């Protein structure tokens, strides 16, 4: 070994030590988790001050509940009875939409899969509308037993059916064809849209009023009973997601390779589809279709921290909640004292973003 090599040897080893942790984005993901947690808490608190009423009175009203400040009854009702459930619902639905987007994309092995784009939300919407309009036609025993749960349960069934259909159509021997998936999604959305239209014709005026907010999606109808309705299904779906993370990572290699890595693929697919259906069904039944959160959030996170689902799924929940609260803030303030449906805000921001993804990936997207 020459003198020069001897001198260079330690340096080379030093570089190897640095390279040993190259490609590991775990720390970056954890940092992002912390940052998102902090941002979510701040935005959630701030959102209690947004709206038509004077926002300087929000903080005392918030604290009055714990005897820490004095506030008028009116302010307390606005903060605790109107804005708080709206914020909680926004967090739940935002997290649900972003996580289902990430789970569906992992399941279909494709960054373009999104419940809103491929007809799953439309299927859940059909279920919800059927639940509202056709409730009278169902046996009283069934409607009595399901009670308030009828609409979320019907939305869940609709979302489940459409996810299953979509997967069966688009996947052959463990490979999902993007073109087939998107086209099947279009067909599915058209069909469910038509069926929804037929059912709407049978609706009474009161039911029509109930139905209007499905058109564009909105958090405006939020109250504590809606939160209680949506929370169990959404929380169950969010709780199932971490158990899917490792399997979704392996699934990126294809179904066969995932099985060789020890993943029980069929069972995992069933859980993933149930998770998507539960979260989308619950979200759609309380807020209607809110698009693009499920595609924008996972995509942004993959750019920032890579596609490892163990960190992608929790961070997607946080960022989804954050973005939906911000979108709701825009919806509430742009044309105050009136407000926009939040679906319009997310579509206005998400549509161009989606086009940008398509342009960026045009060269590599296997369509």
Partner 1 sequence: MLEATGIRVTLGWREILRGIDLFARPGEVTAIVGPNGSGKTTLLRALTGEVDHDGQIRLNGQDVDRLRPWQLAAMRAVLPQATALAFPFTVLEVVRLGLAAGLGAARADLPGKALRRVGLPGFEGRLYQQLSGGEKQRVHLARVLVQIWEPVAHGAPRWMFLDEPVSSLDIGHQLQVMQVARDFARAGGGVIAVMHDLNLTAMFASSVALMEQGLITGFGSPDDVLTDAALSRAYDCRLRTNHAPVTGRWILPQGAEAGLS
Residues of this chain that bind partner 1 (CB under 8 A): 16, 19-25, 105-106, 109-111, 246, 249-250, 252-254, 256-257, 259-265, 302, 306-308, 364, 366
CB nearer to partner 1: pick between 309 and 332: 309
CB nearer to partner 1: pick between 65 and 172: 172
CB of 151 to partner 1, least distance (A): 35
Packed helices 309-333 and 224-251: angle between N→C axes, nearest 10 degrees = 140
Residue 279 CA to residue 295 CA, distance in Å, equals 15
Residue 188 CA to residue 343 CA, distance in Å, equals 20
Phi-psi region of 138 (alpha: psi -120 to 50; beta: other; left: phi over 0): beta
Residue 209 CA to residue 206 CA, distance in Å, equals 5
CB of 170 to partner 1, least distance (A): 14
CB nearer to partner 1: pick between 193 and 254: 254
CB nearer to partner 1: pick between 204 and 266: 266
CB nearer to partner 1: pick between 22 and 335: 22
CB nearer to partner 1: pick between 87 and 245: 245
* Contacts of 67-73 spanning 24+ positions with Cβ under 8 A: none
Question: Whose structure tokens read 């714990």?
Answer: 66
Helices (H) and strands (E) in the chain, counts: 16, 2
CB nearer to partner 1: pick between 296 and 325: 296
CB of 128 closer than 8 Å to CB of 285: yes
Question: Whose structure tokens read 């911000």?
Answer: 326
CB of 148 closer than 8 Å to CB of 270: no
CB nearer to partner 1: pick between 109 and 332: 109
3-state secondary structure at position 364: coil
CB of 305 to partner 1, least distance (A): 11
Residue 197 CA to residue 199 CA, distance in Å, equals 5
CB of 17 to partner 1, least distance (A): 10
CB of 185 to partner 1, least distance (A): 17
Work out whether the CA dihedral 105, 33, 50, 353 comes out positive or negative.
Answer: negative
Q: Structure tokens of 65?
A: 């509940």
Residue 239 CA to residue 103 CA, distance in Å, equals 13
Among candidate residues 291, 278, 290, the one with its CA nearest the CA of residue 154:
278
CB of 145 to partner 1, least distance (A): 38
CB of 102 to partner 1, least distance (A): 10
CB of 277 to partner 1, least distance (A): 22
CB of 85 to partner 1, least distance (A): 36
CB nearer to partner 1: pick between 25 and 76: 25
Side-chain half-sphere exposure of 182, counting CA atoms within 13 A = 7
């Amino acid at each position: 070994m020459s003198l020069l090599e001897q001198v260079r040897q330690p340096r080379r080893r030093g570089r190897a030590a640095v390279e040993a942790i190259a490609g590991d984005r775990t720390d970056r993901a954890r940092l992002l988790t912390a940052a998102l947690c902090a941002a979510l808490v701040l935005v959630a608190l701030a959102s209690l001050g947004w709206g038509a009423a004077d926002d300087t009175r929000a903080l005392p009203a918030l604290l009055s509940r714990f005897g820490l400040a004095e506030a008028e009854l009116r302010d307390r009702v606005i903060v605790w009875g109107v804005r708080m459930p709206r914020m909680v619902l926004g967090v739940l639905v935002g997290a649900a939409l972003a996580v289902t987007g990430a789970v569906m994309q992992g399941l279909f092995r494709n960054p373009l899969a999104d419940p809103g784009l491929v007809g799953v939300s439309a299927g859940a919407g059909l279920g919800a509308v059927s639940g509202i309009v056709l409730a009278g036609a169902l046996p009283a025993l069934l409607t009595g037993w399901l009670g308030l749960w009828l609409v979320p349960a019907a939305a869940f069934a609709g979302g489940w059916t459409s996810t299953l259909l979509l997967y069966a159509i688009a996947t052959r021997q463990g490979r999902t064809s993007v073109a087939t998936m998107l086209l099947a999604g279009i067909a599915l959305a058209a069909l469910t849209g038509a069926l929804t239209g037929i059912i709407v014709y049978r609706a009474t005026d009161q039911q029509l009023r109930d139905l209007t907010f499905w058109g564009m999606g909105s958090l405006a109808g939020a109250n504590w009973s809606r939160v209680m309705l949506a929370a169990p299904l959404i929380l169950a779906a969010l709780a199932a997601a971490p158990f899917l993370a490792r399997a979704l990572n392996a699934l990126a290699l294809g179904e066969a390779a995932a099985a060789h890595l020890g993943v029980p693929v069929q069972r995992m697919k069933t859980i993933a589809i149930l998770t998507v259906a539960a979260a989308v069904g619950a979200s759609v039944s309380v807020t209607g279709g809110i698009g693009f959160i499920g595609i924008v959030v996972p995509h942004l996170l993959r750019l920032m921290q890579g596609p490892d689902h163990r960190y992608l799924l929790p961070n997607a929940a946080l960022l989804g909640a954050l973005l939906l609260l911000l979108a709701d803030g825009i919806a509430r303030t742009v044309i105050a004292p009136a407000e926009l449906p939040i679906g319009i805000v997310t579509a206005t921001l998400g549509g161009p973003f989606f086009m940008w993804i398509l342009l960026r990936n045009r060269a590599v997207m296997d369509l």
